[in-house]
Amino acid sequence: MNEIIGRCPVCNEKFVVTRLSCPKCGTGMEGEFVMCKFCYLSREQRSFIEIFIKCRGNLKEMEKELGISYPTIRSRLENVIMALGYKAEEVVEESGANRKEILEKLEKGEISPQEALKLLKGR
């Protein structure tokens, strides 16, 4: 059986399932069915989520598993979070400030590079 894709390859709009069928008895249902939000993720994003779960959310462990850097893991995680429909601003770290806010404060001169480093490491 082929893997279902969640988005149209032409316009990138979300697909809607219109027919369901049982492979054992042949029973079928027609209509418009919405897929879960994970079905709309790309294959790479779903694979990333699977590894995330396997590593129990431990990003350092994911570094070892995937052989990529911590910032790359964070970036891919942010990408998945946004693909699931959440805004990056809603993703708040335990320190109360997210990475983007820390970098913006650093750029505006509101905090020193040492303070920014301390905040980023304290996450």
- Inform me whether the pLDDT recorded for 48 exceeds 90: yes
pLDDT bucket at 116, cuts 50 / 70 / 90 = confident
Determine the Cα–Cα distance for residues 99 and 116; give it in Å rounded to an integer: 9
pLDDT bucket at 88, cuts 50 / 70 / 90 = low
Amino acid, res. 36: C
Which of these, 80, 1, 87, 3, lies nearest to 46 by C-alpha position? 80
- Inform me whether the pLDDT recorded for 2 exceeds 60: yes
Within 10 angstroms of residue 77's Cβ, the number of other Cβ atoms is: 18
Q: Is 83:41 a contact under the CB 8 Å cutoff?
A: yes
Q: Which two tokens stand for residue 36?
A: 């879960």
What is the predicted pLDDT for the residue at 86? 86
pTM: 0.60
3-state class (DSSP) for residue 30: strand
Residue 77 makes CB contacts below 8 A (sequence gap 6+) with: 48, 52, 59
Q: Tokens 């779903």 sit at which residue?
A: 46
Average pLDDT score over residue span 41-55: 94
